[in-house]
Amino acid sequence: MIITVASGKGGTGKTTVSVNLAHMLGSKVQLLDCDVEEPNAHLFLQSEPKEQTVVTIPVPQINEGLCECCGECAKFCEYHAIVSFGTTPLIFPEMCHGCGGCSIVCPKKAIGEIDKRIGTVETSEVENILLVQGRLDIGMAMAPPLIRAVKNRLQQGLPAILDAPPGTSCPVIATLQDTDFAILVTEPTPFGLNDLKLAVAMMQEIDIPFGVVVNRFGVGDNRVHEFCKEQQIPVLLEIPDDRRIAEAYSRGELIVDALPEYRELFQGLIEKTMHQFNTQTA
Amino acid sequence: MKIAFTTSGNELTAPLDPRFGRASKFLIYDLENETFEMVDNQQNLNAAQGAGIQSAGTVTNSGAEALVSGHCGPKAFRVLMAAGVKVFYSEAGTVGEALDAYKQGKLTESNAADVEGHWE
């Protein structure tokens, strides 16, 4: 089973939920940090990377001897990675999504591909957790291909928890693809509610069963709960607004280790998630 | 010869938009006939990425041989250079003032982008 922890909003506690959930499972589990622009799951697992692989995407290279400047490649590219005005095409590798379409539409077969490095994938192992994390190189904008490279490390037959990037854009969709269940983390504030609504609309669009975790329960107001009730979205867990949790987080400690009284809460999250998965997919 | 100006309005008294890639419109002024037409750039204004590249394409396709704007980023500049469009920077408040400055030869042709990508 693959569970993705997502949220419409950054800083709501996705990583907190992901790492504590993975740790509480007890059995062997894969934890994939798909927030490749800012991976931070490793901060809570104090792991030394065991293996690091460079990830590349293919970007076009024009053979000027063959190119007749017809502009077909530029017309095809939706991402403005190739521009041509009856001249030899200009290439902007930083805009390229590596789809390879330009080389297919070129009537003169003048476009080859070269590998462009976008980041790395690191794997490590801490206790029961097999951690895989993507790290996008500084200045790179193409997170989805790197996220897919992280997900290519998924081992069949082992439960997996995917820590998604914040928001509702391409990198989040790339993370959510082919997952079985999503946990949306939010906080009971107007900002949390606004972004939860966006995330819920996204979930309904891609049709993956999901539930909500309310972090910092006790701050803000009741509207997140009212929204969930109205939309019949199950609230899987409420994490209290407890200063000690923030302190443990800032020291890079797991809540379930630093504050054992919360173990039961996360155990409950596992059970409710399984229950919801079974009910919603039945 | 035609010159493109970045703007948010529809006439010569409209402000000159200091941004190039995300300017909402281009005023294309025809120096011979002393007339102008408007080219919409709304689509690029909201583009997730590649606004500068696409805007440079729009200016080129309008037939303009020069661009007057507040600033220009590196990708847009590369496209404009490849298309043979000259780039002039101006701090004028309106399109009309920038046009006057151009006519009086007060603007100097630039040979480089003056801001980073994603500048705004």
Residue-wise pLDDT tens digits, A245-281:
999 999 999 999 999 999 999 999 999 999 999 988 8
Which residues of B fall within a CB distance of 8 Å from A87? 82-83
Backbone torsion region of residue B23, taken as left when φ is above 0, otherwise alpha when ψ lies between -120 and 50, otherwise beta = beta
pLDDT of residue B88: 96
Residue-wise pLDDT tens digits, B8-37:
999 999 999 999 988 999 999 999 999 999
Tell me if chain B has a CB within 8 Å of the CB of A65: no
Per-residue confidence band for B101, with pLDDT thresholds at 50, 70 and 90: very high
ipTM of this complex: 0.78
Residue-wise pLDDT tens digits, A179-231:
999 999 999 999 999 999 999 999 999 999 999 999 999 998 999 999 999 99
pLDDT of residue A233: 96
The correct answer on CATH 3.40.50.920 for the domain covering A2-55+119-280 is no
Which residues of B fall within a CB distance of 8 Å from A81? 50
Residue B119 forms part of a structural domain: no
Residue B65 forms part of a structural domain: yes
Q: Do B50 and A87 touch (CB under 8 A)?
A: no
Residue B53 forms part of a structural domain: yes
pLDDT of residue B16: 96
Residue B52 forms part of a structural domain: yes
Residue A26 has pLDDT above 90, yes or no: no
Residue B116 forms part of a structural domain: no
Q: Do B82 and A80 touch (CB under 8 A)?
A: no
Residue carrying structure tokens 């703007």: B7
Share of chain A above pLDDT 90, in %: 83
Choose the closest CB to B79 out of A79, A90, A141. Answer: A90
pLDDT of residue B120: 56
Report domain extents, chain A: 2-55+119-280, 64-109
* Both structure tokens of A104: 């297919």
Residue-wise pLDDT tens digits, B106-117:
998 888 888 877
* Measured distance CA(A178)–CA(A151) in Å, rounded: 10
* Measured distance CA(A153)–CA(A151) in Å, rounded: 5
Residue B11, SS3? coil
pTM, entire model:
0.81
How many domains does chain B fold into? 1
Interface of B with A in 69-88 (CB under 8 A): 75, 78-79, 82-83
Which residues of B fall within a CB distance of 8 Å from A83? 53, 56-57, 79, 82
Domain of B22, in residue numbers: 2-103
* Backbone phi and psi for residue A278, each to the nearest 5 degrees, phi listed first: -65, -40
Q: Do B53 and A80 touch (CB under 8 A)?
A: yes
Which domain CATH number covers B97? 3.30.420.130
CATH topology assigned to domain A64-109: Alpha-Beta Plaits (3.30.70)
Task: Tell which wins on pLDDT, A8 or A58.
Answer: A58
